[in-house]
Amino acid sequence: MALKATHIATGEEIDLDRADEPEMAERIAELYQRTTNGDRPRPGRAVLECREHDGPDGPHHRAWVYLRRDQFGRWVLAHFDLKYADHTPARMTDQHRWQQDYWQRAGDAAGYETAQERRLKGVRLDVAIIGPKATIGVEVQHSALTRPAAIARTRKARDNGVTSLWSADRPDGPPKWAYRVPTVLTNELPDGYAPRGSWTVVNGARRLVPTRCARPWFTDSSVEGFGGICPTTARRRPCGAWHPRFTPRGGLTVDHVAEQAPAGALIPLTVPANRGRIPVVYIVTAADADLYAELASGTYNDPEQSARDATETANVGKIGPCQAAVPTRPTAPGSGYISAQRHASTYVPPAPIYVAPAGYCRFCAEPLSEAQRRSGISNHLSCWQNQGVPGREPRPTTS
C-alpha cells in the first residue's frame, strides 16, 4: 500500500507507508515544517496535494492536505476539505502480505494478468486479477473494517468496472461486512510459502437448490430456509410455488476462486431482503445465477413428468398395478359374499367373508323382528349368548 502526497512548490513526493525509512522520515519531517498545517492554510506556506484520489485518467488536483500525527504517533494526511476522509497508514502484517501474495500467485497460475496495489479512481485494489470476462479486485482485509466503508469501496470499484471480492480469515467469527459485499471467508495461512491448493475457502460460496414452498423447509428459520414466511406472498402459509434455497458450497480453494471468478464462472449474487431479513451477497456459479433469475421471475418449470417417469423406470423398472396379496374389504351390508382379489397364479384366496343382509341376524342369518331392526340390533339375543358363528349352527351350551 502507499499513501502519497506531492509538495506543490518543489514537486517532492512523500509516502507515509515508508515513513520508517530514514530518508523518507527526514523528508516528511522537513515538509512538515515547511508546509501549512492546522484547520486553515497559513499565509506564506505551501500545501501538499493528495495523490490518493488519482485515477487512471490522470492526477486529481486541488485535493489539499497537511501533515499531522494521530494519538499513536503515526503521520496522517489530513484534508482541509471535509468531504474527503483523512488517510492513516495501516501497518501491513505478515499474514496480510502472505495472503496478498497468494492471491496474485493463484491468478498468475491461472494465466491471467495480475497486479498488486492497482490504483483506480477513488480506490486502490490490493490485488487485481484481469480475466476474459471480468476484472476482479481482491480486498485482503486482515484487520477490522466497518460495514459502510466496505460497501463504499465496493461501489467505487464497481464504478470503475471492477468486481470486488473481499477475503478475510477471522477465526473469532465473520467480520461486520460479511455477506453485505462479495465475501470469501478462508482459513489462516500457515506461513508465507503455502503450496498451491492449500488455502481453503470455508464460507461465502453458495449452491442454489430450487425448493417448493412447502413443509418442512417452509418453517426452517435458518438463512437457507423460508422462516415460516413465503418469499413471494409474505404470508405465513406456503404457496406451493418454487423458491430459491441456498446451501453452503464446499470443496473450494482460493485457487479455484482466482481461476473461475475472472472467467465469469463464479459471480456475486445479491439476494433481496425478505420480511425480517437484510439483503445478502453470495458467491454462486453462473448457472445458479441464471436459475435464480428464472425462480425470481416465475418462469421456472417443474421437471417434466416424462423425465421423472424415465428415471423411475431406469431405477425400479416399469411401474404397474399393485401385486400385493391384500383381500378386498367388504362393502356395504347386504352385498353378500365378496371374494378376495387374485394377484398371482400361486395365490390361494382365503375363505369367503359372509356379510349378513340388513335386518338379518349376523350369527344365524335368520330375520330379525321389527322392534330389533328399529332399535339397530344386528343379532338375536340367544345367538349372541350362545356365541354363534355367522352363517353356521350355534354351538351347544355346556351344562
Asked if 363 contacts 384 with a C-beta cutoff of 8 angstroms, the reply is: yes
pLDDT: which is higher, 189 or 210: 210
Q: Rounded to two decimals, what is the model's pTM? A: 0.56
Domain match, 109 and 164 both: yes
Domain match, 104 and 187 both: yes
User: Is the pLDDT reported for residue 272 higher than 60?
Assistant: yes
282 pLDDT band, cuts 50/70/90, is very high
Residue 109 within any structural domain of the chain: yes
Residue 217 within any structural domain of the chain: yes
User: Is the pLDDT reported for residue 312 higher than 50?
Assistant: no
Q: What's the rounded Cα separation, in Å, for the pair 48 and 32?
A: 10
**Residue of 369, 69, 119 lying closest to 127 (CA atoms):** 119
User: Is the pLDDT reported for residue 284 higher than 90?
Assistant: yes
Using a 10 angstrom Cβ sphere, with 0-12 exposed, 13-18 middle and 19 or more buried, the burial of residue 153 is buried
Domain match, 193 and 215 both: no
Cell of 195: 503450496
**266: β partners:** 285
Residue 74 within any structural domain of the chain: yes
pLDDT at 288: 92
Domain match, 193 and 109 both: yes
Residue 42 within any structural domain of the chain: yes
Please write the tens of the pLDDT for every residue from 39-63.
555 666 667 888 877 776 777 777 8
Using a 10 angstrom Cβ sphere, with 0-12 exposed, 13-18 middle and 19 or more buried, the burial of residue 121 is middle
Residue 223 within any structural domain of the chain: yes
Final residue in a domain of this structure, among 186, 201, 216: 201
**Residue of 204, 115, 124 lying closest to 157 (CA atoms):** 124
> Residue 115: which domain range?
94-201
User: Is the pLDDT reported for residue 305 higher than 70?
Assistant: no
Which region, left, alpha or beta, applies to residue 33 given φ > 0 means left and ψ of -120 to 50 means alpha? alpha
Domain match, 189 and 211 both: no
Residue 84 within any structural domain of the chain: no
Q: What's the rounded Cα separation, in Å, for the pair 33 and 296?
A: 61
Domain match, 153 and 190 both: yes
Query: Which strands sit side by side in the sheet containing 135-140, from one edge to the other?
Result: 113-120, 123-130, 135-140, 163-168, 183-186, 201-203
Least confident of 171-175, 315-319, 381-385: 315-319
